Amino acid sequence: MKIQQWIMQHKNQLTFITGILIIFAGIAKFIFTWLLGYQIAMIIASIIGVLPIFLQAYQALKVRVLSIDLLVTIAVFGAFLIGEYNESAIVTFLFLFGSFLEQKTLEKTRTAIQSLTKMAPKSALKILDNGSSKTVEIENIVKGDRLLVKTGSQVPVDGIIDEGEGYLDEASVTGESKQRRKGKGDDVFAGTFLDNGTLKIKTKRVGEDTTFGKIIELVEEAQDSKSSAERFIDKFAKYYTPAVLILSLIVGILSQNVRLAITILVLGCPGALVIGVPVSNVAGIGSGARSGILIKGGEVIDGFSKVDTFVFDKTGTLTLGKPSVAAVKNYSGDLAESLKIAASIERESDHPLGQAIIDYAKLSSYLPVTQTNVVKGQGIKAILDDKNVLVGNQSLMTENGVELTEKMQSDIHKLQTAGHSLVMVAIDGQLSLLIGIKDQIRPGVKETLDRLKEMGAKELIMLTGDNQETAESIAEELGITKVYGNLLPENKADYIRKLQNEGHQTAFVGDGVNDSPSLALSDIGIAMGGGTEIAIETSDIVLMKSSFEKLADAYRLTKRILRNMQENILISLGTVLLLLLGLVLGYIYMASGMFIHELSILIVIFNGMRLLLNYKKKTKT
């Protein structure tokens, strides 16, 4: 048992020893014409080289699997018995060297996982009761602990900022290289880096439960899962290997040509076919992970590449999910002064529309408000610098005798038709400002939807709980033709079922808890990474940086992966047919055939690796 372990642990070293012996044999024969040295070197190379291959075949036979290693082992023993030591040595070396290159190449396709794992936080500065800090292992941090994060340090947990502010590099979680400024009350994620500032954070999640931990888990699970193409190849190989053995036996008996039978065993190995599809799958998923697209497995690749109908939630998906000022109509002389008055009064309220006005004004100082009176359902009455100010809706204006001209009424109608929520500001009985606030469309949404259509999407549909008029105004701007408003979560799920019953391959894109039923029910569920945990858990694809443009990138990537798999299958089957045809016609022999066979393995591996290289280039442009 120890010998077996040693052989398998030193498989790569044995490969190179075999290669060196073959080179030595060639020098002995062709330079020194030392035939005995040539024979001895080839015999030793054959014995050393076949050992790990034989052990792999034996281990497979123990679980009743006829592996490719078995074909090579029989072929090598056969060549050895008939005195073709050069053939047996070269076959073992090429097979082992191909395996070595395959192993190294696959390792490179998993660099996304390796780099993520290395980036996982190992320790943290815990703030003690006396205010001092102490370095502790991450395993000893629990929910509720307060931690100190200094400039240049890694955030060790998912948490919320308790004190301080700074600029964070969140590329490891969101894929976005741009730094984000965060302060008290903002969320921070494990695995991100504090480039500037000092933070005290309160722990919410640690270890595998953090956003960063879940990213690693999702990608690991995805790369280990198999597509339908891979399952087909596994099944094919299961029956193909014994078929080659039987064919070789029949040919040997009928032709009485042992060499020919052994050559069929060698050339019939479906190595490229077995490795070609998994390498495409792993490379493609790794490629997506590096740019913030998490694809949860090979089955998702098949499904998403065939999607013809995209269904979108509106708020937080097509839009940013945060109301902001989109239009301002000024009816007074000084716009800046009127805005400062409005923002100063809105500071007295926590209404989201008021916060949108404050964000829009971007003031460093505010005017003193001496008196405020909140009118429920209408707005605020206030006194500011001896001015009587009204900030609220049209009802507040009407009840307080503010006159609205035809021009003002026309502006109000236009903004309402466009889906704005309106805030009016009147100063001393005269309307000063009309502010239109709406949930803004995400940057790049229209361009992304156009790209989806170009790539084969036939239907783009919006489902939302918002009113139909607001939904239609956004849909018209984006070029979405089917819009359904005023929907509850169960109504959205029912519509997904209806599309599926009509034969559509559906993808639902959402971000909230209310989207979870539709995400789970659709053929492919796609969650925006900034959404809720349950939305991310129930989805098949996660766009980690909540960048809508990544949706088209993911769609294109899955199509490329599927095409790459098909290319590798064609290369593999074409090679086997070429070898068998060459064998029949007498142009290909055992060693040359094995060389072509191993070359085909490298070709499909490098073809799969193009997914990493090409995708990286395209995401930079």
Rounded to 5°, the CA angle 560-566-568 comes to 100
The amino acid present at 265, given as its one-letter code, is: L
**What residues contact residue 75 under an 8 Å CB cut-off, 6+ apart?**
91, 262, 263, 265, 266, 590
Q: How far apart are CA 217 and CA 212, in angstroms?
A: 9
The residue assigned the tokens 């036979």 is 61
Q: How far apart are CA 279 and CA 315, in angstroms?
A: 38
Q: How far apart are CA 75 and CA 9, in angstroms?
A: 24
**What residues contact residue 101 under an 8 Å CB cut-off, 6+ apart?**
601, 602, 605
Q: How far apart are CA 202 and CA 199, in angstroms?
A: 10
The token pair that represents 98 in the structure block: 């191909």
Q: How far is CA 492 from CA 135, 467, 469, 514, 551, in A?
A: 49, 14, 18, 9, 20
**At 352, is the secondary structure helix, strand, or coil?**
helix
Q: How far apart are CA 515 and CA 618, in angstroms?
A: 31
Q: How far apart are CA 239 and CA 65, in angstroms?
A: 10
Q: How far apart are CA 120 and CA 117, in angstroms?
A: 5
Rounded to 5°, the CA angle 96-99-100 comes to 90
Compute the 3-state secondary structure of the chain and give helix, strand, coil in percent, each to the nearest 5. Answer: 55, 20, 25
Q: How far apart are CA 133 and CA 135, in angstroms?
A: 7
The residue assigned the tokens 């992304």 is 448
**At 453, is the secondary structure helix, strand, or coil?**
helix
Q: How far apart are CA 447 and CA 210, in angstroms?
A: 33
Give alpha helix (H) positions in 165-270.
Answer: 171-174, 211-224, 228-255, 258-267
Q: How far apart are CA 547 and CA 444, in angstroms?
A: 9
| Polymer length in residues for the chain | 621
Is there a contact between 202 and 162 (Cβ–Cβ < 8 Å)?
yes
- CA 57 to centroid of chain Cα atoms: 36
Three-state helix/strand/coil letters over 100-119: HHHHHHHHHHCHHHHHHHHH
**Consecutive H or E run containing 374:** strand 371-375
Pairing of strands 187-188, 371-375: unpaired
Q: Is 234 a catalytic residue?
A: no
DSSP tag of 82: T
The residue assigned the tokens 């070029």 is 479
Catalytic residue among 158, 313, 511, 553: 313
83: left (phi over 0), alpha (psi -120 to 50) or beta: left
- CA 136 to centroid of chain Cα atoms: 32
- Which residues have a catalytic role annotated? 313
